[in-house]
Amino acid sequence: MLWHCIAEAEMKVHSNHTYPSLDFCGFASRQLQKFKHGKITGKPHQPIAHMALVLVTCLSTGLTLSACQTSASNSNPNSPATSQTDAAPQENPAEAGAREFIGTISKGQQAYQLENRIFTSKIDDLGIGETKSNDSYEYQISLSDETKAQVTATAKKPGLKSYTAGIFVVGQKGNELTIRILCRTDKPSQTPPKMPILSEGQAKNPQCPTGSSEVI
């Protein structure tokens, strides 16, 4: 049964560019912990690496293990109920989709730069799917120089917020690394935030421009 669930999840991951749910991330996390501590025995039909693959996909789409575990805890009927007053505001589904996709693009840019030592202006080069725009958002990559890339998700409809991701190459030559930040307009806007900037000094922390805030 365990490996049947894994296979089903992998099919969902690799078809139509959909991703595993938080509940399944929590399930995968718990099963890997059991395997690690020798609590899963016998000869499974598929290697445990399949479960690890699903967890990597969870992480690559911004679903952290802590969030997975929180989701699993909240789904427990014996856990204390959360009152509506304590719940976080519901995120607009279109905005949530844009946030996830632009985050995936920016992570793809980091991986692409690590492998090729340059950024790309084409989403197709990142191998993250065919979706570039929809009825709610337009996605675009802009390159100003070889040390930074800007990714924007521009809202097409009033009432939606826009996003900008900044990816930067920092560090000395031969010891470079990439850092990124995702910014969202504080209010609904059909104009994305300007390119984030790096702070002065050795820390080189990226900062969102005025009128926007960092999101994770």
pLDDT of 128: 84
Over the chain (216 residues), the average pLDDT of each successive run of 10 is 39 39 50 49 41 42 38 43 49 93 95 93 86 86 92 96 96 86 97 91 81 94
pLDDT of 200: 72
pLDDT of 54: 41
Secondary structure string (H, E, C) spanning the chain: CHHHHHHHHHHHHHCCCCCCCHHHHHHHHHHHHHHHCCCCCCCCCCCCHHHHHHHHHHHHCCCCHHHHHHHHHHCCCCCCCCCCCCCCCCCCHHHHHHHHHHHHHHHHHHHHHHHHCCCCCCHHHHCCCCCCECCCEEEEEEEEECCEEEEEEEECCCCCCCEEEEEEEECCCCCCEEEEEEEEECCCCCCCCCCCEECCCCCCCEECCCCEEECC
pLDDT of 95: 96
